[in-house]
Amino acid sequence: MKNQYRTHSCGELNIKNIGQEVRLAGFVQTIRNLGKMKFLDLRDENGITQIVLNEESNLVEKCEDLNKECTITVCGKVVERSSKNPKIPTGEIEVVANDLNVLGKCKPNLPFEINSEGQNVREDLRLEYRFLDLRNEKIHQNIKLRSKVLKDFRNEMDKLGFTEIQTPILANSSPEGARDFLVPSRLHPGEFYALPQAPQQFKQLLMVSGFEKYYQIAPCFRDEDPRADRSPGEFYQLDFEMAFSTQEDVFNVIETIIPNVFKENSDWKVDEGPFVRIPYQEAMEKYGTDKPDLRNPLLIWDLTNIFKGTEFKAFEGKTVKAIVVENAAQKPRKFFDAISEFAISELEAKGLAWVKVDQEMKLNGGISKFIENERKVLIFEKMNVQPDSAIFFVADEKEKAQKIAGGVRIKLGEEFDLIEKNIYKFCFIVDFPMYELSDEGSIDFNHNPFSMPQGGIESLENQNPLEICAYQYDLVGNGYELASGAVRNHSQEIMIKAFEMAGYSEEDVKKRFGALFHAFQFGTPPHAGAAAGIDRIIMLLAEENSIREVIAFPKNKKARDVMMNAPSQVFEKQLEDIHIKLT
């Protein structure tokens, strides 16, 4: 059956179509009025075709009030274009119109130009008119890329024999590291569902049920503050779990699907598996973060022992971290001052010390007068310092020093243009601590509460909780956490003990995780899995800096949907139905 609006898309006509009568439909992108003639650029999501309205067609006057972004359908003959445009696939031809109909009128004053690159438009204005913003070719292609990536992930999982299964959205509250979104129940007054932070318990129950390879593109909901690489409120992940599997089995799956999907959707170089594996503590020492960007060659060195007994007050009794940058000694004093100001204002450092190393390997500037020759020799030897380098020092409590040095490392990599271009570099961060101290000083889960502790029940009974490692792991790519997973605990005994150490009684565990607790009595197979962040992966593939650029209808930085006006107030009757009173 023929389409009444178009015979071709706006991106497919070429020199072979000359002489054909065609019908096109799309948005008017530009209008060039030359008196007796008009030229329109007609755009659909497949491309642009130039339309000619001449005096003979009697369409020039008919289209006097035609505006940009009106939706039209045009009938006409394909002719060779006299002034060709090699920048577009249809640049050798144009369509001389003999009929034109306006399908959707657009008001004359747009809130912003649709396809103007680099325009300074407030983000909230773009989000308020997101239906227009999505017409922008770059963002439009991002959403189409998203569709393709989802298909590619599904294809990869299907090839590996996984079964796609959907799990509930209305679930129970579960400690996953963020606040829950709660949904009051109308049928059960005073009781609440929680939107799942992840399908964690359900996928483990599927393993108990005998499904050996599960996956889904899962919506997840977390009431947490937004960031450039994190969507507020909701996000999607490729969630998968495998029975009778180990950490290595999960790594094999990730090392198969991630390179394949990245290579399919980018022309950058892509790391092949096996990926580098870095223990958590090593990552914090070398990179100052558990999300290291391996494209940056700079490393952090620990000089605490070298500076023991120093008379330099700023280093006395502190953990001292250092970064050496080659070919940096020629930078002016104001550069070093700017890096120091960045560390203080952005990283909450007390200060950033530095020295220059000249061609004769002498120290100059900064804190050079406080570094004796014996210490200088030890520093040079440990860090393999070269002539014409600069060394940057951070001194603070251990965790603060690591974090600040990690931020300085990133900044220096950017300032000296050291970040390797056009490549995706991946690594696994492994051996995460099972527990950490909360802000109140109590023992709390560090990562995922359903993980298997390394050493099993013996480690829980005999080790310092803060020294227990879990079979937990993250996939990191170009400085972003792209996936997180674990070998799961499948023992009721270990579950009770693990939660007890975090302050949960056995009754708490039964009440909050009853289904999982009871299921562990019925022959649970060992299992492991992971979840990859879809939005963040697509952000990397689209070469965007904000996750909002790859989500069709994102919320703003304050977690508000300014287009749909959500969240919003509701009627009193709606609150009565769900037994809620506002105070």
CATH of the domain at 97: 2.40.50.140
Mean pLDDT confidence for 184-194: 93
CATH number at residue 152: 3.30.930.10
User: Does the pLDDT at position 436 exceed 70?
Assistant: yes
* 487 and 540 together in one domain: yes
Distances (CA, A) of 428 to 265, 376, 483: 22, 35, 9
Q: Measured between alpha carbons, how far is 274 from 59 in angstroms, rounded to an integer? A: 63
Task: Looking at the structure, tell me whether residues 21 and 76 fall in a common domain.
Answer: yes
Domain that residue 48 falls in: 15-104
Among 256-270, 301-315, 427-441, 494-508, name the most confident range: 256-270
Is residue 118 predicted with pLDDT exceeding 60? no
Say if residue 472's pLDDT is above 60.
yes
DSSP-assigned beta bridge partners for residue 237: 218, 533
Q: Are residues 339 and 264 in the same domain?
A: no
Task: List, for residues 148-176, the tens digit of each pLDDT value.
Answer: 999 999 999 999 999 999 999 998 876 55
pLDDT at 101 (0 to 100) = 93
- Percent residues over pLDDT 70 in the chain: 98
Kindly state the greatest CA–CA separation across the chain: 93
Residue 133 lies in a domain: no
Count of domains for the chain: 3
pLDDT confidence bin for 232, thresholds 50/70/90: confident
Q: How far apart are CA 562 and CA 553, in angstroms?
A: 10
Confidence of residue 177 (pLDDT cuts 50, 70, 90): low
Write down the mean pLDDT value for the chain. 93
Task: With respect to residue 239, please indicate whether it lies within any of the assigned structural domains.
Answer: yes
Say if residue 228's pLDDT is above 80.
no
Least confident of 5-14, 229-238, 430-439, 461-470: 229-238
480-492: average pLDDT? 95
Bond from prior residue into 226 cis (ω within 30 degrees of 0): no
Is the previous residue joined to 567 through a cis bond, with omega within 30 degrees of 0?
yes
Given a contact cutoff of 8 angstroms between Cβ atoms, the answer to whether 547 and 230 are in contact is: yes
- Is 562 part of a structural domain of the chain? no
**390 and 354 Cβ atoms separated by less than 8 Å:** yes
- pLDDT higher than 70, residue 236: yes
Q: How far apart are CA 435 and CA 290, in angstroms?
A: 16
Q: What is the pLDDT of residue 115?
A: 80
- Three-state SS at 124: helix
Does 241 reside within a domain? yes
- What's the 3-state SS for 531-561? EEEHHHHHHHHCCCCCHHHHCCCCCCCCCCE
Say what the pLDDT of residue 176 is.
57
pLDDT digits (tens, 9 = 90+) for 363-375: 999 999 999 999 9
| Residue 1: per-residue pLDDT | 61
Q: Give the pLDDT score at 377.
A: 95
For residues 180 and 76, state if they share a domain.
Answer: no
Model confidence band, residue 563 (pLDDT cutoffs 50, 70, 90): very high
